[in-house]
Homo-oligomer: A and B are copies of this chain.
Amino acid sequence: MEGLFRKEAVVHGFGEIATPIFEHTELFTLKSGPNIIDEMYAFEDKGGRQIALRPELTAPSMRFFVNELTNYPRPLKVFYFGQCFRYERPQSGRYREFFQFGAELIGAPNPESDAEVIGLAADLIRRSGLTDYNIRIGHIGVLRGMLSRGGVTSEKASPILQKLDKRLYEEARPLMRDSGLSEDAMEEIVRTTQIIGTPDLLEEHPGEASDYLREVFAILADYGITNVQVDLGVVRGLDYYTGIVFEIDAPCLGAEKQICGGGSYSLTELFGGEKAFSTGFAIGFDRTLLALEREGLTPAKVRLDAYVVPTSEAMRHKAFSVVNLLRRQGISADVDLMRRSVGKNLKYADSISARYVIIVGEKEDSQGAVTVRDLSSGEQTLVKVEALPYQMK
């Protein structure tokens, strides 16, 4: 899946970046607040520096951009695949070391940039082979606008949005009440977070954010992506999001069903750079594999093309040159390294599910040939050594 995702990201015009496994702890507290220290592997190194194993890869990517990539032409489209670390109780779908595959687009705050990023996330999940999943797209401006029109300051809006994001209405209501919202306004906000469905639902909620979302959905349709829903309750509860927000979930995973989260945000100025508009996402790689497993999809085993067996001590060196001939042609090949009998070698070839066994014997050798046995059909043919690579391809 790693190779598949890499290839798909390159086809979409994204370039791979790699950042260090650990960063200054401050990078992550700047982005996510001081409480994140409790969830991180944070240490002091021998030089007295506060360092942390990265809990996610958006902050490192943006730090890298600010330090090294600001002179690249825009839009800048990057992707990453790497380990992240969280110190939390391990459970199904939540590991202390886990892999994220993600992408960031730095360019302009517009629907085409957002659709481009959501399009990649959607194509990756489609390519993974997963069949049951939901792509839900919202816009943080809808609820922020409603709160602001109700007189709620942006400082008081943050904790409310965090509760709404988790659909914890009974905890959100007292916060909304305290910040001066009327009961009617409150109920309209709650109702809005429950709007999930086809993009035409947006017509009932006119406004700038709604127009913006409609254009995102239109471009996604150009990209052939129509299995997407509007979900005005997606807020992702973090202050640095600026516009669209989206999530992909796989219902088969139950409580830990989210396999991708993303949105448009602005972080560069926090890390000492100029303001830059970005859209990005991260896919939980292990969780996606878990969802595939739940759907009964297991990765195809890598099979060896050819296992080469000499029939006698005298044929050993001949067998080594045959295996070399195949490898030089890109055919995966192996040879007896354990000095086993022919019978035991055939059993071993079977146990590793090799496609062909190539028997290097003295009689065949006198004709410059080897015997090729197809392990699925059991069929045997005599093949000239120089024709072997073409025969196997």
Contacts and interface: CB of A to CB of B under 8 A. Distances in A.
A316 B302 CA distance: 43
Given A20-B97, A21-B21, A334 B224 contact: no
A13 B219 CA distance: 45
Given A45-B87, A87-B46, A113-B337, A222 B73 contact: no
A69 interface: no
A11 interface: yes
Interface stretch (A136-144, A160-168, A200-208, A325-333): A325-333
Nearest to A120: B327
B110 A337 contact: yes
A223 B15 contact: no
Contact of A327 (B11, B20, B45): B11
Contacts of A247: none
B10 A302 contact: yes
Contacts of A107: 337-338
Interface string A205-245: 00000000000001100111000000000000000000000
Given A331-B11, A332-B11, A339 B110 contact: yes
| Count class of interface residues, chain A | 35 or more
Contact of A320 (B12, B123, B219): B219
A393 interface: no
A29 interface: no
A337 B108 contact: yes
19 contacts: A12-B327, A12-B333, A12-B334, A13-B332, A13-B333, A21-B53, A21-B83, A21-B97, A22-B41, A22-B97, A73-B351, A73-B352, A75-B337, A107-B338, A116-B335, A123-B327, A218-B317, A219-B320, A224-B328
B330 A11 contact: yes
Identical subunits present: 2
Given A107-B338, A339-B108, A339-B110, A320 B223 contact: yes
A5 interface: no
Interface in A250-277: none
Interface string A107-122: 1101011011000000
B224 A324 contact: yes
A367 interface: no
A112 B351 contact: no
A363 interface: no
The 7 closest A-B pairs by CB, nearest first: A222-B320, A13-B334, A43-B43, A112-B337, A223-B324, A222-B321, A73-B351
A324 B107 CA distance: 20
A28 interface: no
Contacts of A108: 337-339
A332 B338 CA distance: 46
Contacts of A105: 337
Contacts of A328: 224
Contact of A348 (B73, B85, B321): B73
Nearest to A305: B11
A304 interface: yes
A110 B321 CA distance: 18
Contacts of A41: 22, 43, 45
A287 to B, nearest CB: 17
